[in-house]
Chain A
Amino acid sequence: MTTTSEPPLQLTAGEQLVRPSTSLGVLSRPKGDTGWQSWLFTVDHKRIGIMYGAAALLFLVMGGVEALLIRLQLAVPGGSVLSEDAYNQVFTMHGVTMVFLVIMPMAAAFANYLLPLQIGARDVAFPRLNAFSLWCFLAGGIFLNTSWFLGGAPDGGWFGYAPNSGLVYSPSNGMDFYALGLQIAGIASLVSAINLITTVLNMRAPGMTLFRMPVLSWMLLVVQFLLLFAIPVITVALFLLSFDRLFDANFFNVAAGADPLLWQHLFWIFGHPEVYILILPAFGIMSEVIPTFSRKPIFIAIGFMGWGVWAHHMFTSGMGPVSVAAFSLSTMFIAVPTGVKILNWLATMWGGRIRFTTAMLYSVGAVAMFTIGGLSGVTHAVAPADTQQTDTYYIVAHFHYVIFGGSLMGMLSGIYFWWPKMFGHKLDEKLGKIGFWVLLIGFNLTFGPMHILGLQGMSRRIHSYAADSGFNLWNLFATVGSFVIAVGVLLFFWNIGVSRRRARGAPPVGPDPWDARGLEWMTASPTPTHNFDRDITVTRQDEFWHRKWRIGDDGKVTRIARSEDVAHDGSATDVHLPSPSYWPFVVALGLPLVAYGLIYNLWITGLGALVILGGLYAWVFEPPDDPEAHAHDDHHDADPSDDSGNGASGGGTSPNGDGEPDSGDGTRQLAEAGVAGGPSAQATEEQP
């Protein structure tokens, strides 16, 4: 049986993507690929990626406003903008929002959009689970932020140290929202990690070996593995905290003999990999942008970073000298692979003919800022110095250089770089460059002085300071700087609007506006729903670039083909794609209900559980998405592992009880899995 005998599934706008199935007579799959429903129920990895990115930018604004409130409060001694209580909530939510609701989903946006494209696949391994991850993350983020209106936001700091996070010291419901909201967001990350790892392991284009994958794909893969093994640990920590607060358990109850250091260990076993989870996607993005605009292949050397340094966050916690010395050494070693990475970016640029586009500026800026952050980080490896610096503004400066200067700037670089691929037009370069310089200056004006403040002894998280402590000048600088950053961010959003308006009626940007290297540039912009018209056979690293350019014996690079001729034009219409589905959204909706119920009323939890259960059953009983599939048993996806909501669900197993080798079944397998190089109808592309 081949799927070539199937009539093609038309993909033109406005037409029905799916004919309603009569299978069970009760359920059907969503139809159409325009309008709000097509976004709400989509399983297309590109739309999911874009929504992840949009949500991250929305949360960036919220986290940014919180940052401005902090800086207003600290602008002058004895500030009175926020009460002590409100201040605790604002700085906690600023950290939680930026880490879990901005940087992580922004990385997820790039992973969702680019991973399948870079490995030459049609979609991810489990498209419906992918949609579930998105809605689950959003449910967690919104749930967390509703705490503002329900008696106060979390106020125990973003790492929620016990016993500060317990009922005694944090009696409002804020920390309950923290524990449960991050739990929900954690489910999203875990499901997404399983999904994306399976995608990379199982769905690479013919010839795309692991070592031919672009650096970004590698970095994203490593991040998914880190998530896979780090999330369960924070899951346990958050469960323990929830049980303590909601059910009076004794895990962090010092009066009952508990040691609150347990939280710190569990949190930082998660938290240190989390640092790499935050920075590696940005590394990957820089590794795509810098060689493209240096017009050279990247100088490859990847360092895989270790786990064994979590406790350097805890030198001052009284762990004992031997563990402090051990963690001190391993923390210093971490600097080595990071230094290698920086050197190979520099080596890549060296001798290249550099084009300073906005994306390149952000990447170079991110390398520079991250280097500063890295250098101040090395000073923490020295335990006595760390003891002086812990919980001062020196630390605040350090991790903002790493996370804002490194991660966020790297991701902004990625946004400028892949914007034409996602939306079919470039962002304005002039506005982009102005925005970059404003942001860079504002950033250094804000966080540079914090090094000095920290060494002067200003503690982090203090609500105000006295006029004679000598902190006045640099705090004022930092506050002014933070508003310069805000202007830079506003310029970015303005740029999006301006560029969008200008793009109407302008000539299309073409598949490969930057003369780049990854397979994602080998198809039309914006990426057609089916990604590639034909399977791509990969023969070497940077396949697409080598199809455009030849390196002669004398080392001279000559163009051998135009991008437009190499790239697919996106006109294929005979591609089977997975149909949209209602149920990922519904199941994700049940989770915050369960969480609200745990805080307020267990009946709501029951209701939420019913929604989840019903959603999962509907997910399982959903009809197959192929229009030619008939009303026989293949809709009955009896894979009961769906019940656990685990990674095995939503896949392509559709047990087919009648044993008849029917066509609908095989097609569903293909459609659901979107396997490139699978039993597919497309001809494998000829070699050039």
Chain B
Amino acid sequence: MTDVADPEAARTAPASTGHEAAAHPPTTTGLTHNKVAMWLFLGSECLLFGALITTYMFAKSRLPAGEIGPNDVFDIPFTSVSSFVLLMSSLTMVLALSALTRGEERTFRVWIAATALLGGTFIAGQVYEFTVFYNLGLGYTTNIFGSAFYTLTGFHGAHVTIGIVMLMSALVASLRGRLSARNAETVELIGLYWHFVDIVWILIFTVIYLFPQ
């Protein structure tokens, strides 16, 4: 069974027993364990970022007057571009999964590589931004805004980096001929994680950069 024509079937069937799924629903919900677990994990992550964003808002509101703050460092046009780059990576992620479920492995590799590259560009932008901020005098320990800002964006950056590692692993697996339409669910799960991280960034970008005061 090298090809799953019906993407719906590919989504609901476990990766390696897809051909049996119709006859014996393998799980109570019909979803694979991995997918249920990934959704639960992302649900938990919502609270993690929720607490981090709240902490940031709380900390920023207590920044003593006269200290270096959001308005002194933020470069909205630059961050808008890097946010756009990250959002586009969600699009390429969708295209990658779609190509894999259709069995077009070569196209899949192109899109998955593009996704990783866009993610890498975003991280490079973040490193550049941190460097600029540091040179402007905002270190991690400078004040309460610095601690909260670097912690929140750093946690998000770490999540993106882990996502890039997953994307690269998928690419390597595909190059070795180990990813095909029948185990597209693995890529779908990476995609879920990737989209989640993007959505969190939309929230962070809005809350931190667009409403700095």
Contact = CB atoms under 8 A, between A and B. Distances in A.
Same complex origin of A and B: yes
Nearest to B178: A657
A641 B45 contact: no
Interface stretch (B36-44, B75-83, B127-135, B200-208): B36-44
Contacts of A198: 33, 36-37, 40
Interface stretch (A251-259, A277-285, A513-521): A251-259
B28 A202 contact: yes
A266 interface: yes
- The binding surface of chain B is classed by DSSP as helix
B169 A243 contact: no
Most buried by A among B27, B59, B62, B170: B27
B182 interface: yes
B62 A257 contact: yes
B40 A647 contact: yes
A247 interface: yes
A253 B147 CA distance: 11
Given A195-B37, A198-B33, A228-B40, A653 B16 contact: yes
A202 B29 contact: yes
A653 B47 contact: no
A239 B166 contact: no
B180 interface: yes
A680 B183 CA distance: 21
Given A202-B28, A203-B27, A651-B37, A266 B16 contact: no
Nearest to B20: A679
A638 B189 CA distance: 12
B146 to A, nearest CB: 8
A202 B20 contact: no
Contacts of A259: 58, 62
B151 A239 contact: yes
Interface in A625-683: 633-634, 636, 638-641, 643-644, 646-648, 651-659, 661, 665-666, 668-670, 673, 675, 677-680
Question: Of A228, A229, A634, A638, which is in contact with the most chain B CB atoms at under 10 Å from its CB?
Answer: A638
A495 interface: no
A197 B39 CA distance: 11
- Residue of A258, A262, A668 contacting most chain B CB atoms (<10 Å): A258
B48 A655 contact: no
B97 interface: no
B180 to A, nearest CB: 6
Interface range on chain A (Cβ under 8 Å from partner): 35 or more
Contacts of A203: 27-28
A350 B144 CA distance: 60
A251 B193 contact: no
A209 to B, nearest CB: 9
Contacts of B23: 679
Contact of A678 (B24, B146, B148, B180): B24
Interface string A95-139: 000000000000000000000000000000110000000000000
Interface in A207-222: none
Contact of B33 (A202, A655, A658, A666): A202
A643 B166 contact: yes
B116 to A, nearest CB: 11
Nearest to B40: A194
Interface string A601-640: 0000000000000000000000000000000011010111
Given A202-B31, A250-B144, A634-B16, A656 B183 contact: yes
A257 to B, nearest CB: 5
Contacts of B41: 194, 646-648
A240 interface: yes
A218 to B, nearest CB: 15
Interface stretch (A58-66, A151-159, A230-238, A458-466): A230-238
A204 B165 contact: no
A117 B157 CA distance: 41
A248 interface: yes
A633 B25 CA distance: 25
5 contacts: A250-B141, A258-B144, A643-B169, A647-B40, A661-B1
Given A233-B50, A638-B186, A666-B17, 4 more contacts: A125-B33, A233-B51, A639-B189, A653-B34
Q: Which 7 A-B pairs have the closest CB atoms?
A: A640-B169, A657-B178, A638-B173, A655-B183, A232-B48, A659-B2, A249-B147
Interface of B: 1-2, 14-17, 19-20, 23-29, 31-34, 36-38, 40-41, 43-45, 47-48, 50-52, 55, 58-59, 62-64, 140-141, 143-144, 146-148, 151, 162, 165-170, 173, 176-180, 182-183, 185-186, 189-190, 193
